[in-house]
Structure 1
Amino acid sequence: MTIEQTLLADDVRVRIFKALADGTRLQIIRTLKESGVEMNCGEVGEKCEASKSNASYHFRTLREAGLITVRKEAQTKYIHLNVETFDSYLPGFLSSI
C-alpha cells in the first residue's frame, strides 16, 4: 500500500469514527441492523425518537461516512446499512452491537 493509499484509508477511518461517536447514530445503526431490511427515514426516526430535522442530520453524517446508503422513491427516502464499509473498516463491529 502506498503512502497516498494509506492516507486516504485513514481519512475514511476518521470519518467513520466521527460518525459513530454519537449515541443517536449508534442507535440508528443498531435499528437498521436489527431490522435486516431497508427502512424509510421516518420509521428509523420514530424508533430512535429523533425529530425529523435531527434524524436528517444524523442520516447525512452516516451517509457521508459511507455507513448507510439512501434510496429515494417518490417522496420517501429509504436507508440501509452499507455492510461492505463495515466489513472493510470495522470487521465484527455489527455483530458487537
Structure 2
Amino acid sequence: MTEAKEAAAEATPVAPLSTVLGAIQDPIRLEMVRRLSNAGVAVRCNELYEVINKSTATHHFKILREAGVIERVIVDGQIWQRLRAKDVETALPGLLASVVDNANRASDA
C-alpha cells in the first residue's frame, strides 16, 4: 500500500459486547472479520466477499464499522477496510482471537 489516509477524523468507539457480537454473528460479516484478521493489514473491499453483491457488502461493512470492529481507509482513491484489532482487544479482551480462531477452524473443516 502507498499513502493511506483515514476517511474519518476519529474512529467510532468500539461498541458494547452485545452490539459487537450482534455485528459479527452474521456468517458474511464473520467471514469478513476472519479475512481481515488473517490478512493483518487493510484489504480492498472486493477481496472480503464473493457470494454477495456490492450493495449488500456495503451494508455489512456499515454494520461492522458502527460496531467499531472495522474502519474504512482510502488508499490511492480506493476504499479498503481494516480490522481495528487493537481497539477491539482493548475494549473486549480475547473476543476477536476467540471468534477468529473458531471461524478459522470451521473454514478448515
Settle same-fold status: TM greater than 0.5.
yes
SS at match of 2:36: helix
1:34 to 38, 42, 57: 38
Give ranges in structure 2 of 5+ residues lacking alignment.
1-12, 101-109
Number of equivalenced pairs: 86
Give ranges in structure 1 of 5+ residues lacking alignment.
1-8
Aligned-residue offset at 1:94: 2.5
Judged with a 3 Å threshold, the aligned counterparts in structure 2 of structure 1 residues 88 and 31 are, in CA distance, closer, same or farther, namely same
Matched, 1:71 2:73: yes
1:52-63 pair list within 5 angstroms? 52-63=54-65
SS at match of 1:33: helix
SS at match of 1:72: strand
Q: Percent identity?
A: 33
User: 1:12 is matched with which residue?
Assistant: 15
Give the 4+ runs in structure 1 shifted more than 6 A: none
Whole-Å separation in 2 of the counterparts to 1:53 and 1:74: 22
Aligned-residue offset at 1:12: 2.4
Contact 2:42 2:73 in 1 (8 A): no
Aligned-residue offset at 1:93: 2.4
C-alpha root-mean-square deviation of aligned residues, in Å? 2.1
